[in-house]
Structure 1
Amino acid sequence: MKRLKNFLLLLAAAPVLAFASAGGVHLDKAPVNLADQDSLQRGARMFVNYCLNCHSASAMRYSRLQDIGLTEEQIKDNLLFAADKPGELMKVAMTRREAKAWFGAAPPDLSVVARSRGADWLYTYLRTFYRDDSRATGWNNLVFDKVGMPHVLWTLQGEMVPVHKKHGEHDVIERLELAKPGSVTLAEYDAQVGDLVNYLVWMGEPGQLQRKQLGLIVLAFLAIFFVVAYYLKKEFWKDIH
Structure 2
Amino acid sequence: MKRLKNFLFLLMAVPIVAFASEEGPKLDKAPINLSDQASLQRGARIFVNYCLNCHSAASMRYSRMEDLGLTEDQIKENLMFAAEKPGELMTVAMTKKNAKTWFGATPPDLSVIARARGADWLYTYLRGFYRDDTRPTGWNNVVFDKVGMPHVLWSLQGEMVPVIKKEGEHEVIERLQLAKPGSVSLAEYDAMVGDLVNYLTWMGEPAQLQRKQLGLIVLAFLAIFFVVAYYLKKEFWKDVH
For normalisation by structure 1, the TM-score amounts to 0.92
- Report what 2:172 is aligned to: 172
1:20 CA displacement:
7.5
The alignment status of 1:162 with 2:162, answered yes or no, reads: yes
Deviations 1:85-113 (A, max 9, x none): 10000000001011011111100000000
State the one-letter code of the partner of 1:138.
G
Q: Report the 3-state secondary structure (helix = DSSP H, G, I; strand = E; otherwise coil) of the residue aligned with 1:217.
A: helix
Distance 1:67 1:98 in 2: 34
1-structure distance, mates of 2:216, 2:166: 52
Aligned equivalents of 1:124, 1:74: Cα separation in 2: 31
Which residue pairs with 2:183 in the alignment?
183
* Match of residue 62 from structure 1: 62
CA shift at 1:25, angstroms?
1.3
Instruction: Give the 3 Å change call, closer, same or farther, for CA 109–20 of structure 1 in structure 2.
Output: farther
The answer to whether residue 15 in structure 2 is matched with residue 26 in structure 1 is no
Gaps of 5+ in 1: none
- 1:175 maps to a residue whose letter is R
* Cα drift, residue 172 of structure 1: 1.3
Letter in 2 for 1:160: M
How far the C-alpha of 1:235 sits from its partner, in A, is 0.7
1:147 is aligned to 147
The 1:142/1:20 distance shift into structure 2, 3 A limit, reads farther
Determine the C-alpha separation between the residues in 1 that align with 2:175 and 2:35.
Answer: 33
Aligned AA for 2:188?
Answer: E
1:33 maps to a residue whose letter is: N
Paired with 1:89 and 1:193, the residues of 2 have a C-alpha distance of: 23
Structure 1 pair 159/137, CA: closer, same or farther in 2 (3 Å)?
Answer: same
Cα distance in 2 for partners of 1:228, 1:73 equals 49
For residues 201-239 of structure 1, the C-alpha deviation after alignment (integer angstroms, 9 at most, x for no partner) is 000000000000000000000000000000011111111
Per-residue CA distance 1:8-45 (angstroms, 9 max, x = gap)? x89x98xx95x975x62110000000000000000000
**SS state at 1:136 partner:** coil
Question: How many angstroms apart in 2 are the aligned matches of 1:81 and 1:63?
Answer: 14
Q: Deviations over 1:62-94 (max 9, x none)?
A: 000000111000000000001011000000000
Which residue does 2:203 correspond to in 1?
203
The match for 1:128 is 128
Partner Cα distance (1:129, 1:49) in 2:
19
Name the residue aligned to 2:116: 116
Q: 1 CA distance for matches of 2:116 and 2:216? A: 26
Matched residue SS, 2:165: strand
Distance 1:107 1:80 in 2: 20
Q: In the superposition, relative to structure 1, how do residues 34 and 235 fare at CA in structure 2: closer, same or farther (>3 Å)?
A: same
Return the letter of the residue paired with 2:231: Y
Which residue does 1:73 correspond to in 2? 73
- Corresponding position of 1:51: 51
Secondary structure at the residue paired with 1:114?
helix
**Structure 1 residue 35 and structure 2 residue 35: aligned?**
yes
SS at match of 1:193: helix
Cα distance in 2 between the residues matched to 1:239 and 1:220: 31
Tell me the distance in 2 between the aligned counterparts of 1:169 and 1:219: 56
- Secondary structure in structure 2 of the residue aligned to 1:70: coil
